[in-house]
């Protein structure tokens, strides 16, 4: 403010000087005009200096000037310097980020809010075949056209990664993961999981082959043991007991091999070919009959349907696979609940999908076991499970079958409060 009033005083001073000198010569008005003209010339001169400085040598020291102009030059110079430092810092940070993304073995692709490609690292060039001149600004689904990727990208549910064959080399397997950031922008990461995939494949093949090879010797053993079992009365009691135990163990191994083979088939097959309209209530009635037979009427088994017969949608599913999954749940409920327990097989549906539930009022399961129940060979009580003829693969089979039906398994249970196993099917699986 001080500088501003000083500038005003300068102007008034020059105008007064001009007027005074003009008055002495008898022409005060031209004197005033001359005084104002000199002021204007001084300001035009400073303005010209500012313009030349900003256009020709913006990085040089500012021109020297007194008063308001000098202060203006200094402030502009300091502002410019601050901007330059910030810009350099930003550039250095950006370079560091780019260098670290370049060093990554994973592909990183930056997408704008519309899904158009903005930037990618060199790993993405090798892995996804992106080419700067053609691909910048293209929508990502124009380059990764596999329908499964397109569905994954537009479904916007990126909780799980997606594994697909590489778009440029069919021997490579890539795992895609999309992350959201900023204002609707997305980051697409891809990593090569070919080695992991091959190991997994080898493991599956190994289990499938071993199980398959064990099947024939076990059938031969079981056949002979059955024949010897028929002759048990004629054998010494110790031998007869041994044959009984061998029969029980052989049958356990046969169950195990059958479950392993079923799991391998579920993992290896793509599935979906035998999916057809299935009447869930008829399926539940059938399984309830089998559960009653297994229980020998020691449990009360009922089927509940929460809608009228005229309003029952069918389920698009593989009958053989669902039969195997739901009977696993029902037989578990028979095996792991005490005599006299109640077992309910339930079908219901609403706008969020269809639900098959298997509920019992047995001893239930402690919460720490629930997240691990679908792991292979996981048992809550190993000795009880083995005694009941369990293989530890039942719930793993259920989970796989449901995965092949875009469905999921929910387990609700508490010690002493029974157990509820719920198969949740998406609305798209219901057909009228
Ligand atoms: P298994 O072949 O041993 O039955 P599963 O995978 O079918 O293996 O089940 C895993 C474990 O879950 C079982 O060992 C059992 O302890 C527990 N379980 C399953 N169903 C029930 C149930 N209805 N009530 C209590 N425990 C259960």
Q: Are 288 and 333 in contact (CB under 8 A)?
A: no
pLDDT at 102: 82
pLDDT at 222: 94
What number does the ligand 1 atom closest to the CA of 382 have? 14
CA-derived radius of gyration, the chain: 41
| Range 256-281 average pLDDT | 87
Collapsing DSSP to helix, strand or coil, 109 comes out as strand
Confidence bin at 370 (pLDDT 50/70/90): very high
d(CA 155, CA 171): 27
Return mean pLDDT, the chain.
90
Q: List the structure tokens of 152.
A: 């994954």
Strands 173-181 vs 162-165: parallel, antiparallel or unpaired = antiparallel
pLDDT at 386: 67
**How many percent of the chain have pLDDT more than 90?**
61
pLDDT at 384: 67
| Range 2-11 average pLDDT | 85
Strands 300-305 vs 342-350: parallel, antiparallel or unpaired = parallel
Q: List the structure tokens of 343.
A: 């077992």
- Using the mean position of ligand 1's atoms as its centre, give its distance from the Cα of residue 24 in Å: 117
Checking if the pLDDT of 134 tops 90, the result is no
pLDDT at 385: 66
Q: Are 60 and 44 in contact (CB under 8 A)?
A: no
pLDDT digits (tens, 9 = 90+) for 148-170: 999 999 998 899 999 999 999 88
- Using the mean position of ligand 1's atoms as its centre, give its distance from the Cα of residue 417 in Å: 15
What number does the ligand 1 atom closest to the CA of 378 have? 10
Q: Pick from 376, 284, 395: which is nearest to 336 by CA?
A: 395
Checking if the pLDDT of 140 tops 90, the result is yes
Element spanning 303, H or E: strand 300-305
pLDDT digits (tens, 9 = 90+) for 404-424: 998 999 999 999 999 999 999
Ligand 1 pocket mutation, candidates 390, 398, 402, 416, criterion most atoms within 8 A of CB: 390
**pTM over cut 0.95:** no
Within 6 A (CB) of ligand 1 lie 328, 332-333, 336, 360, 362, 365, 373, 378-381, 385, 390-395, 419
- Using the mean position of ligand 1's atoms as its centre, give its distance from the Cα of residue 223 in Å: 29
Place of tokens 């039906």: 405
pLDDT digits (tens, 9 = 90+) for 34-64: 989 998 999 999 899 999 988 888 888 888 8
Q: Pick from 145, 156, 161: which is nearest to 184 by CA?
A: 156
Quote helix, strand, coil % in the chain, to nearest 5: 55, 20, 25
- Please provide residue 184's backbone torsions phi and psi, each rounded to the nearest 5 degrees: 85, 5
| Range 260-276 average pLDDT | 84
pLDDT digits (tens, 9 = 90+) for 194-226: 999 999 889 989 999 999 999 999 999 999 999
Ligand 1 pocket mutation, candidates 254, 373, 387, criterion most atoms within 8 A of CB: 373
pLDDT at 231: 84
Per-residue exposure over 326-343, b if at least 16 CB sit within 10 Å of its own CB, e if not: bbbbbbbbbbbbeeebeb
Element spanning 185, H or E: strand 185-192
pLDDT at 116: 94
């Amino acid at each position: 403010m001080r500088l501003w009033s000083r500038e005003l005083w300068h102007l008034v001073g020059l105008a007064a000087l001009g007027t005074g000198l003009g008055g002495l010569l008898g022409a005060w008005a031209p004197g005033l005009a001359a005084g104002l003209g000199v002021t204007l010339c001084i300001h035009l001169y400073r303005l010209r200096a500012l313009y030349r400085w900003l256009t020709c040598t913006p990085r040089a020291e500012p021109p020297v000037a007194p008063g308001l102009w000098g202060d203006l030059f200094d402030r502009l110079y300091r502002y410019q310097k601050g901007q330059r430092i910030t810009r350099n810092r930003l550039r250095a940070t950006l370079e560091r980020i780019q260098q670290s993304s370049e060093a990554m073995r994973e592909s990183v692709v930056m997408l704008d809010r519309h899904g158009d490609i903005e930037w990618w690292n060199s790993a993405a060039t090798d892995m996804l075949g992106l080419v700067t001149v053609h691909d910048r600004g293209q929508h990502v689904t124009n380059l990764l056209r596999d329908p499964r990727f397109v569905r994954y990208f537009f479904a916007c549910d990126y909780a799980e990664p997606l594994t697909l064959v590489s778009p440029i080399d069919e021997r490579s397997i890539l795992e895609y993961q999309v992350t959201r950031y900023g204002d609707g922008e997305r980051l697409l990461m891809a990593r090569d999981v070919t080695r992991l995939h091959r190991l997994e494949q080898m493991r599956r093949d190994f289990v499938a082959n071993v199980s398959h090879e064990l099947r024939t010797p076990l059938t031969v053993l079981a056949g002979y043991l059955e024949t010897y079992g028929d002759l048990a009365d004629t054998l010494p009691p110790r031998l007869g007991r041994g044959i009984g135990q061998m029969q029980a163990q052989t049958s356990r191994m046969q169950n195990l091999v059958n479950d392993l083979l079923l799991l391998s088939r579920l993992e290896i097959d793509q599935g979906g070919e035998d999916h057809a309209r299935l009447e869930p209530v008829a399926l539940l009635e059938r399984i309830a009959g089998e559960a009653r037979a297994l229980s020998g009427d020691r449990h009360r088994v009922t089927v509940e349907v929460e809608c009228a017969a005229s309003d029952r949608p069918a389920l698009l599913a593989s009958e053989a696979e669902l039969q195997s999954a739901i009977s696993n749940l029902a037989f578990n409920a028979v095996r792991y609940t005490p005599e006299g327990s109640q077992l309910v097989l339930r079908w219901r549906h609403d706008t969020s999908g269809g639900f098959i539930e298997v509920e019992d009022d047995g001893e239930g399961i402690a919460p720490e076991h629930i997240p691990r129940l679908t792991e292979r060979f996981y048992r809550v009580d190993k000795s009880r499970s083995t005694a009941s003829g369990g293989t530890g693969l039942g719930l793993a089979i259920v989970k796989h079958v449901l995965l092949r039906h875009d469905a999921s398994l929910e387990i609700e249970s508490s010690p002493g409060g029974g157990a509820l196993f719920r198969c949740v099917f998406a609305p798209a699986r219901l057909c009228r």
